[in-house]
């Protein structure tokens, strides 16, 4: 049986089909073309491999949303590496297993990957959405981690399809502690509005 495809395969197909000078990532004044994204992500995947990172190994992300984040994410998909987001507070840190659906994992495979990750670092939550769409196959009791959601669409017209709320003080560490304790509530749908979080951090 052939291995299931993942987003790395999709990216390789898109990169070969589009003009290499067409914009792939736009962040303020920074523009990364499809050719640059292909070259950088392949180079980074190869650099991970040269340092002993094998398919299924973990790569922790301690980065802000920017082209470099997306290039590294593309490298992980292409290399078959498991990316784990590290969300920092002032004293707390939240480790999230992101996008299991995009790796094409079955529940059994995901449980195996989670166990491998936890041998080397704490894992506090798992994402049960893929670009904002609910993935119920991972929202089950046997995956005994708090569930979180994000839209990850990175486009204005598609923002707000999934989000979480937590009963916590408006302070970074308090929110992270609430998520770790399983006290965050996951929401889905296309009804979120920017005003819902417009005053966060005030």
For residue 46, what is the domain's CATH number?
3.40.50
Q: Could you read off the pLDDT of 32-44 as tens digits, one per residue?
A: 999 999 999 999 9
Q: Could you read off the pLDDT of 82-124 as tens digits, one per residue?
A: 887 777 778 888 899 988 888 888 999 999 989 988 888 889 9
Establish if 108 belongs to a structural domain. Answer: yes
What residues does 125 pair with on adjacent strands?
96
Tell me what the pLDDT averaged over the chain comes to: 81
Establish if 178 belongs to a structural domain. Answer: yes
Number of domains in the chain: 1
With 0.75 as the threshold, say if the pTM is over it: no
Q: 21: pLDDT confidence band, cut at 50, 70 and 90?
A: very high
Establish if 202 belongs to a structural domain. Answer: no
Establish if 1 belongs to a structural domain. Answer: no
Q: What percent of the chain has pLDDT over 70?
A: 85
What pLDDT score was predicted for residue 33? 94
Question: Exposed, middle or buried: residue 45 (CB in 10 Å: 0-12, 13-18, 19+)?
Answer: buried
Establish if 118 belongs to a structural domain. Answer: yes
Establish if 41 belongs to a structural domain. Answer: yes
Evaluate whether 71 touches 79 at the Cβ level (below 8 Å). no
Q: Give the domain extent around 187.
A: 7-197
Reading the block at residue 52, the tokens are 């002993």
């Amino acid at each position: 049986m052939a291995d299931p495809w993942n987003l790395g395969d999709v990216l390789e197909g898109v990169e070969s089909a589009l003009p290499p000078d067409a914009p792939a990532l736009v962040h303020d004044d920074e523009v990364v073309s499809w050719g640059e994204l292909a070259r950088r992500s392949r180079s980074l995947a190869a650099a991970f491999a040269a340092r002993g990172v094998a398919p299924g190994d973990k790569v922790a992300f301690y980065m802000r949303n920017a082209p470099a984040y997306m290039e590294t994410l593309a490298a992980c998909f292409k290399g078959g590496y498991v990316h784990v987001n590290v969300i920092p507070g002032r004293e707390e840190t939240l480790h999230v297993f992101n996008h299991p659906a995009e790796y094409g994992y079955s529940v059994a495979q995901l449980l195996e990957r989670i166990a491998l990750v936890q041998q080397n670092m704490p894992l506090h939550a798992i994402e049960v959405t893929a670009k904002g769409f609910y993935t119920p196959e991972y929202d089950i009791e046997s995956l005994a981690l708090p569930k979180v959601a994000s839209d990850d669409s990175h486009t204005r017209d598609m923002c707000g399809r999934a989000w979480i709320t937590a009963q916590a003080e408006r302070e970074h560490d308090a929110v992270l502690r609430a998520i770790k304790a399983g006290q965050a509530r996951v929401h889905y749908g296309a009804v979120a509005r920017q005003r819902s979080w417009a005053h966060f951090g005030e």
